[in-house]
Structure 1
């Protein structure tokens, strides 16, 4: 009931809810009833805990997921105030030189499987703005390679179609050579888990002097590249699966020529208009 209504993958919801429910019921001693456990007051107390070493991003992610569940199971609870968790600066994008070194990292792995998987992470995150969860849930026939380019159909919480940037086409094409059917795109065909497969893979890869491969930085680089090219903001929102124009506007801080109140207003207004998405 909850997963379809929340539009989040079940595995992602479990990461946030398992610890939360255990804390509410077994630590705080409340009854295990939906309207009690998922009341917004309990969520506020949970994400504000000072006995855990969570960063702001984890607290924001947990708060977002848990509040979405609360909207479904406790619809009459009403909104309550939360302290700001926006102290974290926007993720720093990679420079062009760093991207070149990351491509060397991807193509220089010691086995064909590692080269393929590293290439897909870089190609899909930096080239199509996908996040790790979306990459590891792709199936072979979700990716279409044709004369017009490489197009990816993304399922999950924000379904959409995205075209891979020209710079990363060859890397993605090379990484997909010989594949067909309904196997996972990322990892071996025998992979059974869809939970956090990318982070452990990156830790195991062969590394030299390249910058640390971080998919969220790759995705931020994709966003900043489009913003710098003045791609219409509503199209970036759609392709990136974004829901809040303000999140897109914060990335202007990485583009000196566009870092101004006027450009921020332009991007937010353009994102909200949706005029480039009209048929």
Structure 2
């Protein structure tokens, strides 16, 4: 992922660094706010270790944990998101620009932008967007500045897969090197692209949540947005074959789920089998939502089956819908279609 140090020394340097300082964050917070994370979140932060060489983590681990502690996240999921973003950023800083790991020094727009260009450009648009937002929030927290942020409605936050992509993912799923991974890859595709489930919803879905009747296949979604979602017919065979002869109480997507972070089991699929293409659950969901919009599904119904609360949530997806010619819809827009 990272270029050699010799190559990086040739790159343009950002603004000069202030005098070096030793990291000294207090658990009460550098901004004077005395809010602290709940004990369970503090344990998540203290026990976090990034997937980098042990010697590297020894150099940056305290900085990463202290920065997120100072931010005082209130849930374990939010803490993990900020830990992951900060760890990536700190690892890059330590390996390249050799900046002193002091939050008021390093959380600056110039460095964040350079990091996004040099490290994150190879990742999905959604991942880039989320990482930028989290690092900018860290910058605002430690420097009391307001960095320029991506617009929440920016279309780059939604990047559906093409039909060719999905065909490629099907082939990859069939090539996985054992039965459990093949099943997991097919379940991810079917529940993501066929029912629009979020990563956490796929991770917690059980075999018994999938029902088959004369009208087709439906998936019962539990959790924060409980609902019943009809499965797109394109993915019926994929899902039913993956769940055949398995106990109803068994998780549809098999694997270990860390407490408080069930979606980790979804990410593990790509880590365990890095030579195969593993789709993003977020982009599969986006693909499904855009498909429903293009098919003309009424907005109130789409909000319900997608587990969304507000029509404004659909704005990024509307931006990547198929474009239509007014000539083809003139009778509808003028009312003549209804007069027949």
The TM-score with structure 2 as length reference comes to: 0.53
Pick from 120, 141, 161 the counterpart of residue 94 of structure 1: 161
Matched, 1:247 2:313: yes
SS in 1 for 2:252: coil
What is the alpha-carbon distance in structure 2 between the residues aligned to residue 136 and residue 215 of structure 1?
A: 10
Deviation at 1:140, TM superposition (A): 2.4
- Give the Cα–Cα distance (whole angstroms) in 1 for the partners of residues 229 and 267 of structure 2: 23
The Cα shift of 1:138 comes to 1.2
Out of 226, 229, 232, which is 1:165 matched to? 232
1:197 aligned onto 2:200 = no
Match of 1:111 among 159, 162, 178: 178
The residue aligned with 1:57 is 130
The gaps in structure 2 that reach 5 residues or longer are 1-24, 38-71, 75-81, 86-106, 117-127, 137-145, 330-340
1:256 positional shift = 3.8
Structure 1 residue 31 corresponds to structure 2 residue 5: no
- In structure 2, what is the Cα distance between the partners aligned to 1:56 and 1:236? 25
CA contact (8 A) 2:294 2:322 kept: no
Structure 1 residues 98 and 259, CA, compared in 2 at 3 Å: closer, same or farther? farther
Q: Shift of the alpha carbon at 1:153?
A: 1.1
Change (3 A) 1:24 1:169: farther
Tell me, which stretches of 5 or more residues in structure 1 are unaligned? 1-21, 40-45, 64-80, 264-279
Which whole-Å CA distance do the structure 2 matches of 1:259 and 1:173 have between them?
39
Q: Which residue in the other structure is 1:144 paired with?
A: 211
Partner secondary structure for residue 257 of structure 1: coil
C-alpha distance in 1, partners of 2:130/2:247? 36
Q: Aligned to 2:187, what secondary structure does the other structure show?
A: helix
Cα offset, 1:234, TM superposition: 1.4
Secondary structure of the 1:181 match is coil
Equivalent residue, structure 2, for 1:181: 248
SS at match of 2:249: coil
Task: Identify which range, 146-155 or 22-31, moves more after superposition.
Answer: 22-31
Give a deviation string over 1:76-125, Cα, whole Å, max 9, x none.
Answer: xxxxx998642562321111121111111112211110110000101000
- What RMSD in Å do the two structures reach over aligned CA positions? 3.8
Distance in 2 between residues matched to 1:106 and 1:38, nearest whole Å: 37
**In 1, Cα distance between the equivalents of 2:325 and 2:235?**
27
The one of 291, 301, 310 equivalent to 1:225 is 291
How far apart, CA to CA, are the structure 2 residues paired with 1:225 and 1:122?
15
Q: Match of 1:89, SS?
A: helix
- Asked whether the 8 Å contact 2:192–2:288 carries over to 1, the reply is yes
Question: C-alpha displacement at 1:187, in angstroms?
Answer: 1.1
The alpha-carbon deviation at position 131 of structure 1 amounts to: 1.0
**Partners of 1:246 and 1:173 in 2: CA distance:** 34
SS of 2:271's equivalent in the other structure is helix
Task: From the CA coordinates, give the structure whose radius of gyration is larger.
Answer: 2
CA distance in 2, matches of 1:131, 1:257: 26
Structure 1 pair 242–259 and aligned structure 2 pair: CA distance change class (3 A): farther
Query: Which structure is higher in RCO with an 8 Å CA cutoff and minimum separation 6?
Result: 1
Deviations 1:32-52 (A, max 9, x none): 469xx689xxxxxx99x6487
TM-score, structure 1 as length reference: 0.63
Q: 2:129 touches 2:157 (CA, 8 Å); kept in 1?
A: no
3-state SS in 2 of match to 1:234: helix
